[in-house]
Amino acid sequence: MIPTARRSGPPPARPLGLAVACALAALLAFTAEASEPLPPDAVTLSVLSTHPLWQSHLAQREADLAQARQTAVGPGEWAVDLSGGTRRYRGPASGEPGTREWQTGLSRPVRLPGQQAADEATADAARRAGEAALLLGWNELAAQVLDNHADWLLAARQASIWNAQVEVARQQADGVRKRVQLGDAARLDAVQAEAALAQARAQAAAASQRLLALERRLSLTLPGWPRSPSPLAPESWAAAESALQAVPANLDEATMQALLQRHPAQVRALALLDVGAQQARQADAARRGTPTVGVQLARDRSGAEQALLLQVNWPLGGAYRDLAAQAQQARYRAATAQQAAELAEARATLQQRWQATHDAMARWHWQRDALARLEEAAEALNKGYRLGEGPLDQVLQARRLAREQALQSAQAETEAWLALWRWQLDAGMRWPAPTP
Number of domains in the chain: 1
Is the predicted pLDDT of residue 14 greater than 60, yes or no?
A: no
pLDDT > 90: percent of the chain? 47
Report the pLDDT averaged over residues 331-341: 91
Parallel, antiparallel or unpaired: strands 79-87 and 292-300: unpaired
Is the predicted pLDDT of residue 91 greater than 60, yes or no?
A: no
CB of 173 within 8 A of CB of 193? yes
31 in a structural domain: no
* Residue whose C-alpha is closest to residue 348's, from 426, 433, 248, 430: 426
CB of 328 within 8 A of CB of 283? yes
What pLDDT shows up at residue 93?
A: 53
433 in a structural domain: no
68 in a structural domain: yes
Is the predicted pLDDT of residue 33 greater than 50, yes or no?
A: no
26 in a structural domain: no
What pLDDT shows up at residue 314?
A: 85
**CA 335 to CA 413: how far, in whole Å?**
41
Q: Tell me how crowded residue 340 is: count the other CB atoms within 10 A of its CB.
A: 12
432 in a structural domain: no
Q: Residue 32: in which H helix or E strand, if any?
A: helix 18-35
DSSP string, 250-268: S--HHHHHHHHHT-HHHHH
Is the predicted pLDDT of residue 328 greater than 70, yes or no?
A: yes
Q: Tell me how crowded residue 148 is: count the other CB atoms within 10 A of its CB.
A: 16
Is the predicted pLDDT of residue 54 greater than 90, yes or no?
A: yes
Contacts for 382 with CB less than 8 Å, ≥ 6 apart: 172, 395, 398, 399
What pLDDT shows up at residue 11?
A: 36
**CA 64 to CA 137: how far, in whole Å?**
14
What pLDDT shows up at residue 83?
A: 85
147-203: pLDDT as tens digits: 999 999 999 999 999 999 999 999 988 988 888 888 887 888 889 889 999 999 999
- CATH number of the domain that 310 lies in? 1.20.1600.10
Q: Percentage helix, strand, coil, to 5, in the chain?
A: 70, 10, 20
Contacts for 53 with CB less than 8 Å, ≥ 6 apart: 137, 141
**CA 126 to CA 61: how far, in whole Å?**
10
Report the pLDDT averaged over residues 125-154: 94
**pLDDT interval class at 2 (50, 70, 90):** very low
What pLDDT shows up at residue 260?
A: 92
What pLDDT shows up at residue 425?
A: 92
Q: Which residue has the higher pLDDT, 193 or 21?
A: 193
CB of 272 within 8 A of CB of 372? no
Contacts 24+ apart (CB under 8 A), 395-404: 395/172, 396/172, 396/192, 396/193, 396/196, 398/374, 399/165, 399/168, 399/172, 399/196, 401/374, 402/371, 402/374, 402/375, 402/377, 402/378, 403/161, 403/165
15 in a structural domain: no
What pLDDT shows up at residue 42?
A: 87
Give the structural domain span for 407.
38-85+99-426
224 in a structural domain: yes
60 in a structural domain: yes
285-326: pLDDT as tens digits: 888 888 889 898 888 766 677 888 888 888 887 788 888 889
CB of 153 within 8 A of CB of 230? yes
211-258: pLDDT as tens digits: 999 999 988 888 888 877 666 667 788 889 888 988 988 889 999 999
